[in-house]
């Protein structure tokens, strides 16, 4: 704590001398000035915590002097030592908040000392509160800063993680896609089949007002739906003629094999059932496989993929026949709506075909699922 300094201002030298004498034994440094301007000079050089002034002085009134002190040294405790004749002025000054306390002349020694002590205490308390406020404000700033940094770091890490996940998932999808393409490419008749099925299916899904998340699922499931054909002998896949029963039984294993390939991958877990059930029939009949699920038991993406798959297969050349016209697809969809196909999917697909005709199945369409979901 700084040295305690009190400054007395009075134009009567006797009073100043008496005060010096009175306070000799106190632990305070006592300064005096016989003129308010001199007092202001002293205060600029020597910080005082308490100022005590007379009211009636030739150069400047005590109230005016104290209001200058207030302007220039806001923290200084201001008091008045005044005779009864100037009481009203002094009381007025107290009421206006200009003065901390009033001491009357002639003063009582003990009272004067006690009042000064209180004034110093008051000053110290005020400056301590101010200091603590500053400290806590600074700490708050520091805390806010730390929080901001922390938030920033967390955000940054989350972003990096999300990016890594995105990269991983992109890399994986690319691998799987390459796999699907490789399978399609085993037989030049089915080249691009998976991609086209994925595109048709996504567009049907969007026409059915499915949620974006589900449309994306339809797309990836579409890309991967035949991935299990990797486990089917090439001779069956590329057979340039219709399959016999035995071969057909073999090919019926591909949804299950595909599901098994995808199963270990956490972020493809929603796609697995879509792949597993893309050859179920809507009516749950024996023609469907592997589990002969019916209606709502079949994942909706699978029901959509089945329609897209049929449409793609029919409109592509096969070793044993040329591509069929769209009318044949329309007939097929009508014929098997409710048995093989989900009528709602058929309805959406027919609406799209009606709107878009041949362009719906145009080859080599540029398709970006993320742009598609935004559009
Ligand atoms: Fe399939
Ligand atoms: Fe297929």
CATH value at residue 277 = 1.10.3210.10
Please check whether residue 240 lies inside any domain of the structure. yes
Please indicate, yes or no, if residue 58 is contained in any of the structural domains.
Answer: yes
Whether 114 and 200 share a structural domain: no
Residue by residue, DSSP assigns 179-192 as HHHHHHHHSGGGTT
Give the Å distance between the CA of 255 and the centre of ligand 1: 6
pLDDT value at position 238? Answer: 81
Last residue of a domain, one of 130, 150, 173: 130
Residue 156 falls within a domain, yes or no?
no
Q: Does 284 share its domain with 367?
A: yes
109 and 215, same domain (yes or no):
no
Long-range contacts of 266-269 (CB under 8 A, 24+ apart): 267/165, 267/169, 267/172, 268/172, 268/176, 268/220, 268/224
SS (H, E, C) 241-287: CCCCHHHHHHHCCHHHHHHHHHCCCHHHCCHHHHHHCCECCCCCCCC
343 lies in some domain = yes
* Same domain assignment for residues 237 and 349: yes
What is the Å distance from ligand 2's center to 374 Cα? Answer: 27
Residue 176 falls within a domain, yes or no? no
Residue ranges of the chain whose pLDDT lies below 70 = 1, 97, 176, 188
Give the ligand at the shortest distance from the Cα of 184. 2
Are residues 340 and 204 both part of a single domain? Answer: yes
| Shared-domain flag, residues 74 and 204 | no
Whether residues 37 and 121 share a domain: the answer is yes
Looking at residue 231, its pLDDT comes to 83
In a domain, 263, yes or no: yes
Q: Domain check: are 206 and 312 in the same one?
A: yes
Q: For the chain, count helices (H), then strands (E).
A: 15, 5
Domain ranges, residue 20: 5-130
Which are the catalytic amino acids?
Answer: 229
Residue 175 belongs to some domain of the structure: no
Element (H, E) at 172: helix 109-186
Distance 276 CA to ligand 1 centre (A): 9
Total domains present in the chain: 2
CATH number at 71 reads: 3.40.50.2300
Q: Are residues 209 and 323 in the same domain?
A: yes
Has residue 174 been placed in a domain? Answer: no
Do residue 222 and residue 97 come from a single domain?
Answer: no
Per-residue pLDDT tens digits for 226-242: 988 888 888 888 888 88
**Do 363 and 243 share a structural domain?**
yes
Residues surrounding ion ligand 2 at CB below 5 Å: 226, 309
pTM exceeds 0.95: no
Based on the domain organization, do 201 and 347 belong to the same domain?
yes
Residue 97: predicted pLDDT = 66
DSSP string, 20-61: HHHTTTSSSEEEEESSHHHHHHHHHHS--SEEEE-S--SSS-
**Separation of 225 CA from ligand 1 center, angstroms?**
6
Which ligand has the nearest atom to the CA of 290? 1
Cα 193 to Cα 358: distance, rounded to the nearest angstrom: 17
- Count CB-CB contacts under 10 A for residue 190: 21
């Amino acid at each position: 704590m700084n040295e305690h300094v009190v400054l007395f201002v009075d134009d009567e030298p006797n009073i100043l001398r008496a005060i010096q004498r009175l306070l000799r034994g106190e632990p305070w440094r006592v300064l005096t000035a016989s003129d308010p301007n001199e007092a202001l000079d002293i205060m600029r050089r020597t910080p005082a915590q308490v100022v005590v002034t007379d009211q009636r002085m030739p150069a400047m009134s005590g109230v005016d002097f104290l209001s200058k002190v207030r302007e220039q040294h806001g923290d200084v405790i201001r008091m008045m030592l005044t005779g009864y004749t100037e009481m009203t002025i002094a009381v007025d000054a107290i009421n206006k908040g200009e003065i901390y306390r009033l001491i009357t002349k002639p003063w009582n020694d003990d009272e004067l000392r006690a009042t000064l002590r209180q004034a110093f205490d008051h000053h110290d308390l005020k400056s301590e509160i101010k200091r603590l406020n500053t400290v806590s404000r600074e700490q708050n700033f520091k805390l806010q800063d730390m929080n901001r940094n922390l938030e920033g770091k967390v955000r940054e890490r989350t972003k990096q993680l999300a990016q890594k996940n995105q990269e991983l998932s992109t890399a994986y999808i690319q691998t799987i896609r390459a796999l699907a393409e490789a399978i399609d490419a085993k037989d030049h008749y089915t080249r691009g089949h998976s991609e086209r099925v994925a595109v048709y299916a996504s567009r049907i899904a969007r026409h059915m007002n499915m949620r974006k998340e589900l449309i994306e699922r339809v797309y990836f499931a579409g890309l991967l739906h035949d991935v299990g054909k990797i486990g089917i002998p090439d001779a069956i896949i590329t057979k340039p003629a219709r399959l016999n029963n035995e071969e057909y039984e073999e090919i019926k294993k591909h949804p299950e094999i595909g599901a098994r390939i995808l199963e270990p991958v956490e972020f493809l877990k929603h796609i697995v059932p879509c792949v597993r059930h893309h050859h179920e029939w809507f009516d749950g009949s024996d023609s469907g496989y592997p589990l002969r699920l019916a209606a709502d038991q079949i994942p909706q993406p699978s029901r959509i993929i089945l329609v897209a798959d049929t449409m793609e297969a029919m409109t592509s050349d096969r070793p044993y026949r040329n591509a069929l016209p769209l009318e044949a697809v329309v007939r097929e969809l009508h014929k098997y709506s409710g048995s093989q196909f989900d009528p709602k999917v058929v309805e959406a697909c027919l609406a799209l075909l009606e709107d878009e005709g041949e362009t719906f199945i145009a080859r080599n369409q540029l398709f970006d699922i993320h742009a598609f979901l935004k559009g």
